[in-house]
A and B are shown apart, each in its own frame.
Chain A
């Protein structure tokens, strides 16, 4: 097998459009072990990016000692990326793991037992519920738990306590994917599938640096590109990324100008008559408004704003408009930029205009960044209701109340669920006094870090942190709960292609660490949350009974799991939802018939104005009779709120590297990966580096009105006027939100100065 640190994507297995992607099995074992030494293999899927590659974990003498891609799995056909190979089992089995609960005594965290720790949590929780009520409680979770754990958390928060203050770091990550899908189609749910790569004639990557973010998915594209019928590739990214090197057209737009580009692409498609008027009439609403909104956006007008060539915009539009099948994928370059939802909706609109949905190769992937972000959205541990139900729809609230046998009035549905930044704002103002953080590290990952750290350190905020390690956030906690990691617990999760995988328990967690599900269930028991007839609210005894309960909750909704079971998920490949009686093997692509989940009684959301986030009133939604048609929604382009000026002449943008995930809590503990990318860097264009007298490796200082970073410079192919930094090493800029789509801003103008002339030596 190739050295997968220098050769991230591995050996090519070329294939032609319409053929099946060939199998290539990747594996990594502890040094000196061969496959013959392994006692047994346990089925799982990788959790180190959103791709969701099926894998088997190697066990020897009760320890995880390796990993192998599952050749039968539709997602990866045996492949694994560098993170899967080198940070899955290795990042988990580390000496830094938490093994005992901790409580704060005299200002210090000290080890204790579960009963003491949980009693303290429950005492404070009960005291606050009695004195201030449910609005004093907030829960901030992750995109990395299992489905069963999110569902437990959702039921606890929404039916046990009754607080609207639940969100996940997914809000700062790929919540835009969910928003864009809800605004356009009426409910969340990935229209396309990874299999669309196998069949398409053109691929559009919108702000999606796939070679770094989903290395195995990129291998699939590389194999098409190396085959006899390579698809055309269009790449929208300010950096000269690996993907851009293969692009037929590379649109290196100025950060913050995506919507102007999208308006121009839509206009070109319409002007040249490349759309399908019949499909649009039958399956979409809002054509006239869309046409009017893009009217002024000639290729020249957008070229001026975006800093790209008008002819490149024309060529990209021509590729979109004339290829017989197009796959689009969207990620952070759109989701974390200004006007995120509106820009992502325009990608949906392009597909609607051509009826480019629901057939092999005609696909749309609003991607996720984290392995289980999809489940957080489905189960409602974030700002959604379980089963993609609509908080504005009283009927949906009653469905949940009857499912859980609780008073519908307990379920918070009087206003939109509280988003992450607002939860921290309430904690800052002292109206949230109890915050439970699970599987995420806001003290490193949130915007406006000094402010967030100050909030988390507040003496009157009772902070519970549930994690694998004593993270920066855990160090500020009142109670720290040691959680079991991947491989140490059983559960299911769903990737960005809607494919559900089961991950079986392989080894025991270290010390007293417990599965997140067990911790939530223990809390629910101790809090004595109960149903209307006085029975315990949560009676599940483990992950499988939680999964069975979730199946009931998902019944009849877009994310229908009723046809799945643990037994069905063992062996073979992961299975895409909806999976039910009508579709026992799941559904590869949604919307094959152009029928969308937009009917007023069925939809997940009545939608919003894309400029302000103002909610559409139910009556007004109903009056437009969407009934299965999708919404062609957009908003006028407006420039980023802060444009570069003389003091801060650069635009700043961030991204991921193939070697790291999140705040590196796992990946930095893998020696192989940490050696490959041990520290932060900033990228600057050749031209700007020359102007400022900066050479490769110089330590430079980058500052905005909100913060400063210092790191060695890489003189790279980023577009002039733009500074790039990888985001795993701690955030420093980005005002909290400020855009209605709740994405943070990464286009803050930055000043760059060569602060020290010291050469980096190591």
Chain B
């Protein structure tokens, strides 16, 4: 069984996403809505990690071993500055959140085949929130893009 590879991916993905939300929260704190909201979203990721623990305990996780390094997305190590910088950072968050989202989908597929109700309950709760994170990022980027790309210096 290779489920542990995906559990490792997911665990790490949520960790990276949480760290990156915190990075953006600090780096773009001057935006009126970014600071506290990204803190809240980081907390959601923390919570997902916690909910994953019993599943990880059951199936194990593999965060390095045979997994090619390139499948792990790097988080944001620092934020860019300015309007375009904000847009790029939000877009990076969007990519990270999308990776987490689709990883949850794979886990859900496995859970269905395993008929593991506990696993499916965790997926249902967490993925719903991940999808909202993606939607918020998209809403926020759509709002920021025209100003950043056309009139910002």
Q: Which residues of A contact B (CB under 8 A)?
A: 132-133, 135-136, 164, 414-416, 418-419, 421-422, 425-426, 428-432, 609, 611-617, 638, 641, 735-740, 742
Interface contact B151-A737, CB-CB below 8 Å: no
Nearest Cβ on chain A to B96's Cβ, whole angstroms: 16
Nearest Cβ on chain A to B135's Cβ, whole angstroms: 4
In-complex Cβ contact of B32 among A430, A614, A736 (8 A): A736
Chain B residues closer than 8 Å to A414, beta-carbon distance: 142, 146
Chain B residues closer than 8 Å to A422, beta-carbon distance: 31-33, 143
In-complex Cβ contact of A415 among B143, B150, B153 (8 A): B143
In-complex Cβ contact of A425 among B31, B35, B40, B142 (8 A): B31
CA distance A740 to B145 in the complex (A): 19
Chain A residues closer than 8 Å to B153, beta-carbon distance: 429-431
CA distance A614 to B151 in the complex (A): 25
Interface contact B132-A609, CB-CB below 8 Å: yes
Per the 8 Å Cβ criterion, residues 117-145 of B in contact with A are 132-133, 135-136, 138-139, 142-143, 145
Q: How many A-B residue pairs have CB under 8 A?
A: 92
For A617, the closest partner residue in chain B by CB is B135
Interface contact B132-A740, CB-CB below 8 Å: no
In-complex Cβ contact of B147 among A431, A615, A738 (8 A): A431
Chain A residues closer than 8 Å to B151, beta-carbon distance: 132-133, 135-136, 431-432
Interface contact A429-B152, CB-CB below 8 Å: yes
Nearest Cβ on chain A to B131's Cβ, whole angstroms: 9
In-complex Cβ contact of B150 among A133, A614, A638 (8 A): A133
Chain B residues closer than 8 Å to A429, beta-carbon distance: 82-83, 152-153
CA distance A133 to B143 in the complex (A): 17
Per the 8 Å Cβ criterion, residues 66-122 of B in contact with A are 82-83
Interface contact A613-B136, CB-CB below 8 Å: yes
Chain B residues closer than 8 Å to A617, beta-carbon distance: 135
Which of the listed residues A421, A615, A616, A735 has the most CB atoms from chain B within 10 Å of its own CB? Answer: A615
Interface contact B152-A742, CB-CB below 8 Å: no
CA distance A690 to B35 in the complex (A): 37
Chain A residues closer than 8 Å to B133, beta-carbon distance: 612, 614
In-complex Cβ contact of A638 among B40, B83, B139 (8 A): B40
In-complex Cβ contact of B132 among A133, A415, A611 (8 A): A611
Contacts known (A415-B142, A422-B32, A740-B33); A612 close to B83, Cβ less than 8 A: no
Interface contact A615-B32, CB-CB below 8 Å: no
Which of the listed residues B136, B138, B142, B151 has the most CB atoms from chain A within 10 Å of its own CB? Answer: B151
Chain B residues closer than 8 Å to A136, beta-carbon distance: 151
Chain A residues closer than 8 Å to B150, beta-carbon distance: 132-133, 135
Chain A residues closer than 8 Å to B146, beta-carbon distance: 135, 164, 414-415
B37 located at the interface, meaning its Cβ lies under 8 Å from any Cβ of chain A in the complex = yes
Top 5 nearest A-B pairs (CB, nearest first) are A421-B32, A614-B135, A614-B136, A738-B36, A612-B136
Q: A611-B40, A612-B133 provided; 20 other pairs, C-beta below 8 A?
A: A132-B151, A135-B151, A136-B151, A164-B146, A416-B143, A426-B147, A429-B82, A431-B151, A611-B132, A614-B132, A614-B138, A614-B139, A615-B139, A737-B32, A738-B32, A738-B37, A739-B37, A740-B33, A742-B32, A742-B33
In-complex Cβ contact of A740 among B31, B37, B138, B142 (8 A): B37
Chain A residues closer than 8 Å to B40, beta-carbon distance: 611-612, 638, 641
